[in-house]
Amino acid sequence: MSIKQLCFDAHSQLRDQHGIAVRRAHLYELLAALLGFNSHAALATDAVIGQVRQARRFHNDDLTRLSKRCLALGYPSAESQRIVEAITALAETYRLVAVDVKYLVKLVAGDADGWDVDDEEMSGDVGIDQAFPWQDAPDLDLDSPLLIDTLKQLAAKDHADAHYALALLLQCEPPEERDGHWYRQQLAGRGLDGPEKEWADDYAAALAQFDQYRQHLAAAARLGRSDAALAWAELTGEEADFRHAQSLAAPEDATRLLDLADQLGTSATVLPLLRQAALVGDVEAMRRLAEDFEPDPVEAWTWVHLAELCGTDLTRMEAVYEDGSPADDDIPGNIFAVGGIDVPDISAEQHTVARREAARRFETMRDR
């Protein structure tokens, strides 16, 4: 299913059933109007058309906006009414909704709660009656072929967010080499049927999905999305990709970037970003600085005291089971000690200095 096919069907219906000749380009414009935009170009800048799972019904304001757009395109009132009915029926039958791609990325990543659109970033061509049409789609169907199709159309214009949304939707592990026996037999020309063919086809589909995932993630990274660049560097393990991710990274990326730098032997290059992360409240960054990087014990303890002010005691040891769950005296099992950091001892006077500096950093953090 695609928007092109839906518009073709609406064009045929209006022509065959009502004798109304509507330009196909106008059908895109009318559909965009119904979904809250003043033009299809405005919709296609940073939004895509998707589907919701539940029944979709449009309001009078939506129909009024669609009718005005129809009249503005030069269709007589009598024809406009038929066109409005046909476009609305199409959109309701397929439960169409416009979705901002940045919102879609957060939705797929599980981080959409509280997301809002910055009015200053909205296109001036977005319909005023539905400045936030995509926020009416809490039950967006992420498996919709139509959503994938419109995302691919936007990604073809080198849209970083569209590429990243596709990467998140396609994200998967590469298939195991040992599972590809029948796939390789099929490639070698052996005729397969039954379970063997099914296994070969499943392996081919898994390879294709992983290849698409890599392509879209690489494109999003190349186009400057910092989260995509970091994920791509983690996937490839290449130093050039690490450097690119590092050039785009924000403080919240510091600990992930450090893990990658450890593998490449370039941990020192991440220290400035790690300190930035610690200064804005990243307790894991404080732990790494205190335990692994600060040569001055007083500075190391400053991070420990700052973490305590943020609600985490880095020196505390805990007993846990193998799966990481807290140990219970009444439940048998292998128990391990975790937590606690190895920081050199300092004097009481030095602790006073470290606590004073930690309090200063904490107040600065709160004032941000």
Confidence check: pLDDT of 113 > 80:
no
Q: Determine the length of the chain.
A: 368
Band (pLDDT 50/70/90 cuts) for residue 186 is confident
Confidence check: pLDDT of 137 > 70:
no
- The 10 Å Cβ neighbour count of residue 351 is 16
Maximum mean pLDDT: which of 49-63, 71-85, 232-246: 232-246
Maximum mean pLDDT: which of 62-66, 140-144, 260-264, 297-301: 297-301
Pick the closest to residue 13 from 74, 71, 65, 83 (CA basis): 83
Confidence check: pLDDT of 68 > 50:
yes
Interacting residues of 282 by C-beta distance below 8 A, sequence separation 6+ = 251, 252, 254, 255
**Phi/psi of residue 140, nearest 5 degrees:** -55, 135
Confidence check: pLDDT of 359 > 70:
yes
Contact 251, 276 (CB under 8 A): yes
* Opening angle at CA 102, ends 99 and 105, nearest 5: 90
Q: Which residue has the higher pLDDT, 11 or 222?
A: 222
Average pLDDT over residues 137-149: 84
- Residue 289 carries which DSSP code? I
What pLDDT score was predicted for residue 324?
66
Band (pLDDT 50/70/90 cuts) for residue 130 is very low
**Phi/psi of residue 338, nearest 5 degrees:** -130, 165
Pick the closest to residue 10 from 25, 27, 32, 34 (CA basis): 27
User: Hey, what are 68's tokens?
Assistant: 């005005």
Q: What is the pTM of this model?
A: 0.78
Average pLDDT over residues 363-367: 88
d(CA 99, CA 121): 15
Helices H, strands E: what count in the chain?
Answer: 17, 4
Average pLDDT over residues 74-79: 86
pLDDT exceeding 70 applies to what percent of the chain? 90
- The 10 Å Cβ neighbour count of residue 227 is 21
Band (pLDDT 50/70/90 cuts) for residue 126 is very low
Distance of CA 63 to the CA centre of its chain: 32
What pLDDT score was predicted for residue 357?
95
Band (pLDDT 50/70/90 cuts) for residue 257 is confident
Contact 307, 293 (CB under 8 A): no
User: Hey, what are 132's tokens?
Assistant: 């936030």
